[in-house]
Structure 1
Amino acid sequence: MLNSFSSPISSLLDQRAAGHSLPAGLYTREDVFKADLDVFFHHHWIYVGLECEVPEPGDVMAIDIGATSIILLRDDDQQIRVVRNVCRHRGARLLEAGPSIVSKLVCPYHQWTYELSGELAHAPHMGQDFDKSCRSLKPVQFRSIGGMIYVCLSDEAPADIDRLAEVMEPRLQPYDLRNTRIAHQVDVIEEGNWKLAMENNRECYHCSANHPELCVSFIDLDFGFDPDSLTAEDRAIAEEHFAMYAERTRQWEEEGFPSQTVEQTRDCATNFRTQRLIIAGAGESQTEDATAASSKLLGSMTRKDLGDVHLWGHNAWNHFMGDHAVTVMVIPLSADRTLVRTKWLVHKDAVEGVDYDLHKLTHVWIETTNQDSDLVRISHKGVSDPAYEPGPYSPFSEKALDDFATWYVDRMRAHGY
């Protein structure tokens, strides 16, 4: 095997064996980290936030992605816009990362002032012949899919996001995410590579041993198993479960709630998977007892028995339930540090302490994220060890990881690596 510390990135990609995890250097090397940012966070569509985070004109949200910073905002005409967070004078940042409320975007350095449309309104001491019309803030390509904001920082955005929109718009419509609000947000810095964070979320092989809170509402059979390892009794239980799943999915579909598994995870640019999952136990929500956390349901929902619409992307995972939603965004900070930002959404009129209890709403995913953070930490330590060599994925529980690693290598090669 080539030395991963000296070989070009292309050699590391060549070393990846089907059905196995990635070579160490693809997780640990600084040049790979920089390439990942360029390929996957600048030339692919990434999830960055929600329309409901900027509900009124003048509401803005600055988001940092590597050296890049963007501003998500709502303008005076109630339209969503996304612009570069770079003054067109000498490049100063207009806003620090996070939410703000402004009437105009004013550069703190020399007070160049921009309308919420991005147009330059005022540039002091630039002379009468200065043409403001060519100095507007640079726009960013974005798509709002059911109220979720996806951006592409490249001028040439992958066209296959249309498939994501086609699939998810009808699935998200009953939840009316545009009329939700953020009840809580938690940022966790995981001590590991962003791909390890995504791989960890792509499988539940580890769930029963590590996520007691989540397993109250998750059904372990849904995440793969070796049928030869089951007793005849357990095999009969599994067959009964999947027959029930097929029937429940058929009923949901007939009632107008799209539920079938849709995957676009190989031979594509925009990577996603969605499915309506049955919730275990009480069957209502991802809480400590699997009952709804909020009595005020989302959007037009009138039922609590419609499961969990889950949606993966290459930098996000999301869960949409009748009473609330959980969205998670992943942004690499360095080769060994990753921002995992979790948001809990409730109906915009839901009142804490009246309609929902914040602890019940957030406890399962706070615990799960902390547990996952530790797993990512020990995984990164392991792939950094000289003894590490890529190991085989379970064909039953880790197929999604093989898909992700295959997609990753293919997309790196498509961009010249």
Structure 2
Amino acid sequence: MTTTTAPVTLHPRTGRADAMLATLLERRRPGHSLEAPFYLSEDIFQADLEHIFRRHWIFVAVAPQLPEPGDFITVDIGADSVLIVRDDDMQLRAFHNVCRHRGSRLCDEHQGSLGNIVCPYHQWTYDLEGKLIHADHMGETFLREQHHLHKVHLRDLEGLIFICLADEPPADFEEVAARMRPYLAPHKLSECKVAAQVEILEQGNWKLTMENNRECYHCVGNHPELTISLYEHGFGAQPGPQNAEGIAQFEQIVRDSHARWEAMGLPSARIEELDTRVTGFRTQRLPLDRAGESQTMNTEVACRKLLADFTDKSLGGLSFWTQPNSWHHFMSDHVVSFSVIPLSAGRTMVRTTWCVHKDAVEGVDYTVENLTAVWNATNDQDRRLVEFSQAGVASSAYQPGPYSPFTEGLVEAFCVWYVDRMRVSLTASR
């Protein structure tokens, strides 16, 4: 479904601020972390909203959050609030959450259900396709068809919902979707239900949240729950005589697993395009350690009713990362998705959603505690690490440090993508 929206200026910045940003982007040192203003400056935060979050595809929700006609969610990106609804034909639609009368916000709750969209101020009423169907006292010459809700671009990629606030969104999303559908479709996320959703607030810049996600250099010693199910050499490591045998064994396990999964119709090969396209993404299916079934405390499935029509519990973990704000893990028994939403230069919201088969019964097939244990612990640990980083970059002693070429290559890919997209957008807006 393709819809359009008029561009809206979020925050007028001075030419001086743009000049500062351009200078910082130009002198970014490859292979090193960003300079402190990228994490601390409110001007750069506003530029992030304008050039990144308003001009690219942003992951915001999973389709099981809106299972029935009239179900809605709202998503705030800076000053913009977006209303996503499922209409009577089961199509997902997105609109600016703003009444066309005098600008009142239409829905203030994050999630709910409605028959029509009714403005709480003067009761202007819109149907689930965004058409104005009722407006009292506006006179005989008033044209309702000129006052429908402003639409927002939306794409449903096998149950993953992306929106774009730009007037002309990046066209390469269609190619990304075509390449990812064979990976995602077998898990049938749209036939799942939400078993749990948790939001945490990190006192740190959104880029630190994403950089932390893009590496597992920090995992040993910080994530004891997560690393139970992960192979040590899957994190990346500097090769040498001391670990050559372990790396070779892991690589053989990956090859054998890929061959088995590919024969089952489950694409598994790595696609690495985080910094080579506008809609950057990465995917790969990797084996899990020990019981090898799921990202749980005992590495066994968290839900006895498997997704789709799977009969094999050991399907590894399919990871799907998108720039600028998401990562996802698809397993045989559940899917866990993460959406990062910037709130200010030093505050970020991370929303985690766990989905299981729609017919799975809580307390019989799964428990929420077991399903969420690994990532609830990991998210809290990552929150602390991001907050340590935010405090550190604010110090006068901070200087951009070097990334490990063996374990932090994907952090570099994120920074390359971010810097490139900011440069292109900043140049185009002059």
Shorter-chain TM-score above 0.5: yes
Give structure 1 stretches of 5+ with no counterpart. Answer: none
> 1:61, 1:73 within 8 Å by CA — same for their partners in 2?
yes
Residue 28 (structure 1) shift: 0.8
Residue 304 (structure 1) shift: 0.9
Please state if 1:412 is matched with 2:422. Answer: yes
Task: Report the AA paired with residue 166 of structure 2.
Answer: S
Aligned partner of 1:372 in structure 2 is 382
Aligned partner of 2:366 in structure 1 is 356
Between the aligned partners of 1:272 and 1:97, the Cα distance in structure 2 is 31
Deviation sequence 1:154-174 (CA, Å, 0-9, x none): 011111112321122111112
Which of 257, 270, 280 lines up with 1:261 in the alignment? 270
Query: What SS is found at the alignment partner of 1:227?
Result: coil
Aligned partner of 2:164 in structure 1 is 152
Task: Report the AA paired with residue 368 of structure 2.
Answer: L
Residue 7 (structure 1) shift: 6.6
Aligned partner of 1:290 in structure 2 is 299
Residue 267 (structure 1) shift: 3.0
User: Given the superposition, is the C-alpha separation of residues 373 and 92 from structure 1 closer, same or farther in structure 2, using an over 3 Å criterion?
Assistant: same
Aligned partner of 1:304 in structure 2 is 313
Between the aligned partners of 1:217 and 1:183, the Cα distance in structure 2 is 21
Aligned partner of 2:12 in structure 1 is none
Residue 141 (structure 1) shift: 0.7
Identity of aligned residues (%): 48
Aligned partner of 1:167 in structure 2 is 179
Please state if 1:58 is matched with 2:67. Answer: no
> 2:291, 2:300 within 8 Å by CA — same for their partners in 1?
yes
Aligned partner of 1:245 in structure 2 is 254
Please state if 1:83 is matched with 2:88. Answer: no
Deviation sequence 1:247-306 (CA, Å, 0-9, x none): 221222232110000111123110111100111110000000100000011112221111
Deviation sequence 1:315-334 (CA, Å, 0-9, x none): 01110101111000000000
TM-score if structure 1 supplies the norm length?
A: 0.96
> 1:5, 1:29 within 8 Å by CA — same for their partners in 2?
no
Which of 348, 352, 356 lines up with 1:342 in the alignment? 352
Aligned partner of 1:14 in structure 2 is 26
* Number of residue pairs aligned between Structure 1 and Structure 2: 411
Residue 79 (structure 1) shift: 1.4
Task: Report the AA paired with residue 310 of structure 2.
Answer: M
Query: What SS is found at the alignment partner of 1:367?
Result: helix
Between the aligned partners of 1:84 and 1:302, the Cα distance in structure 2 is 42
Residue 6 (structure 1) shift: 11
Query: What SS is found at the alignment partner of 1:290?
Result: coil
Deviation sequence 1:80-139 (CA, Å, 0-9, x none): 111110100011100014111111000001100000110000011101111000111111
Please state if 1:205 is matched with 2:205. Answer: no
Query: What SS is found at the alignment partner of 1:288?
Result: coil
Please state if 1:118 is matched with 2:130. Answer: yes
Query: What SS is found at the alignment partner of 1:209?
Result: coil
Please state if 1:389 is matched with 2:399. Answer: yes
> 2:158, 2:184 within 8 Å by CA — same for their partners in 1?
yes
Please state if 1:196 is matched with 2:196. Answer: no
Between the aligned partners of 1:48 and 1:105, the Cα distance in structure 2 is 20
Task: Report the AA paired with residue 179 of structure 2.
Answer: V
Give structure 2 stretches of 5+ with no counterpart. Answer: 1-15
Query: What SS is found at the alignment partner of 1:72?
Result: strand
Q: Which stretch of structure 1 is more off in the superposition, 236-245 or 45-54?
A: 236-245
Which of 99, 104, 112 lines up with 1:92 in the alignment? 104
Between the aligned partners of 1:5 and 1:392, the Cα distance in structure 2 is 27
Task: Report the AA paired with residue 241 of structure 1.
Answer: F
Task: Report the AA paired with residue 395 of structure 1.
Answer: P
Between the aligned partners of 1:190 and 1:363, the Cα distance in structure 2 is 19
Task: Report the AA paired with residue 22 of structure 2.
Answer: S
TM-score if structure 2 supplies the norm length?
A: 0.93
Between the aligned partners of 1:325 and 1:169, the Cα distance in structure 2 is 15
> 2:233, 2:246 within 8 Å by CA — same for their partners in 1?
no
Between the aligned partners of 1:148 and 1:267, the Cα distance in structure 2 is 22
Deviation sequence 1:348-377 (CA, Å, 0-9, x none): 111110110111100000000000000000
Query: What SS is found at the alignment partner of 2:31?
Result: coil
Task: Report the AA paired with residue 238 of structure 1.
Answer: I
> 2:269, 2:285 within 8 Å by CA — same for their partners in 1?
yes
Query: What SS is found at the alignment partner of 1:359?
Result: helix
Instruction: Supply the RMSD in Å over aligned alpha carbons.
Output: 1.4
Between the aligned partners of 1:180 and 1:5, the Cα distance in structure 2 is 46
> 2:118, 2:124 within 8 Å by CA — same for their partners in 1?
yes
Task: Report the AA paired with residue 343 of structure 1.
Answer: T
